[in-house]
Structure formats: structure tokens, C-alpha cells
Structure 1
Amino acid sequence: MRTIDVCGEGELPPGEVAVVEDDFVGRIAVFNVSGELHAIEDRCSHQRAWLSEGYLEEEDCAVECPLHASSFDLRTGRPSTPPAIAPVRVFRAAVHDGVVRVELDEATG
């Protein structure tokens, strides 16, 4: 397993998103939903819009795509509304020593 540093813990307050790039995975969006961190692939599975630019639905722990309004569950990556039908990848995000990090298993690079 390897980790990617995203930002300092204080740089990602509740309701905000941070984006990090990885050579193997591409863009990853890390959302702070009421103090819980959720990391997903930052590309809508429908027409490839940046999900990090979408609307964060904190009550549902989801993000709405800015292009066609598909909503993705941040815990599972599954879309709950069309037109998207395919899920996006999810990753584990956590704070270690004051730094927000995304953990990638060997299957994701």
C-alpha cells in the first residue's frame, strides 16, 4: 500500500474538497463531510466532468456532477441518479500526523 499526501488537516474544513493527482490513478477528490473524509475518482463516469466542481450534498454524503446532475455516493462511488450508471472508484482517506492522506492499494497503483 502507498499513500498520497493531499494537504494539511486544517486546509480541508467540513464542507470543502481538495484535489490531488496521482500518476497511476489520475485526479482524486477528497471531501470533508461533517468531519469525515471521503476520497473518490474525480471524474464523472458519464461524461468525465470534474466531480470536485460539483455540489456537495452533505446530508446524503454525495456529490452532484456539475454537468448533468448525476449524484454519486461518496462512500460507495455508486451513482444514485441518472444519467450516470457506472460507479467511480473510492479510496480510503485519513489524517496521519496532521496531514490528509489517500491510501492506494496495489491494485490501484
Structure 2
Amino acid sequence: MSENWTFVCALSELLPGEMKTAWDEMTSVPIVVFNHDGQYFALEDRCSHEDFELSAGGYDPGSGSIECVLHGARFDIRDGRALCAPAYTGVAKFPVKLEHDAIWTRDDRE
């Protein structure tokens, strides 16, 4: 498990309803971080249906979901679970911490 946190951005750079991407250098995993009404969530930036970046799709702050632009699979940003076909498997959720006026995340899978 990685103990190294990845810097995403300054807190002021990720407003409610926005998302930012980051790259975990230790595990070579792309991560997308969301500001959902002042709560921060991070998911692996990879659709579980087909290996494609979720961040290219649409984040809907109202429903707290992101839709993969490739085939329309949707995922809950709070826990990564799949919300509709063609995805039946969720995506990995990662921890987020706020420290030194910045947002940090990491791939904490073993």
C-alpha cells in the first residue's frame, strides 16, 4: 500500500461541481478528484466497462455521478459503484485529504 500522497491541486483550484485529474507516481494509476458541494471524492480515472478515462466524460454534480463518454456507463462519485449498464463493476475509490490548503489523494490498494 502506498503511503505517499499525490498532490492534486490547491483547494482554491477545485470549486464545487468541478473535477481534476492526478497521476499516482507510485502505482502509475490515473485518479480523478471531485468537489461535490465541499466534500471531496477520488476515483480511479478508468471506466470498469472498457479501459477509458472517466474524466473525459460528464460529471453531474446534481446526481453525484460521472458518465463515461465512450458507452454511457455511469458511476457514483462517492463510492465508485456502477449505476447503469454497460458497466456492472464499480471503479476503485481512493482516500482524499486536505492539508496545507491543498488536496491530496493516493492509490491505497495493496
One fold, TM greater than 0.5? yes
Q: What TM-score do the two structures reach when normalised by structure 1?
A: 0.89
Q: Tell me which residue corresponds to 1:16.
A: 18
CA distance in 1 between partners of 2:16 and 2:36 (Å): 6
What does 1:81-96 align with in structure 2 at a 5 Å threshold?
A: 81-96=84-99
Q: Tell me which residue corresponds to 1:39.
A: 42
Q: What TM-score do the two structures reach when normalised by structure 2?
A: 0.88
Q: Describe the SS at the equivalent of 1:52.
A: helix
Structure (1/2) with the larger strand percentage = 1
1:2 deviates by 2.8
What does 1:1-109 align with in structure 2 at a 5 Å threshold?
A: 1-23=3-25, 24-105=27-108, 107=110
1:31-51 CA-partner distances (Å, limit 9, x unpaired)? 111111110000001112211
Q: Describe the SS at the equivalent of 1:2.
A: coil
What count of residue pairs does the alignment treat as equivalent?
Answer: 107
Change (3 A) 1:79 1:101: same
**Unmatched 5+ stretches in structure 1:** none
**Aligned sequence identity (%):** 35
CA distance in 2 between partners of 1:27 and 1:83 (Å): 21
Q: Describe the SS at the equivalent of 1:13.
A: coil
1:60 deviates by 1.9
CA distance in 2 between partners of 1:100 and 1:73 (Å): 20
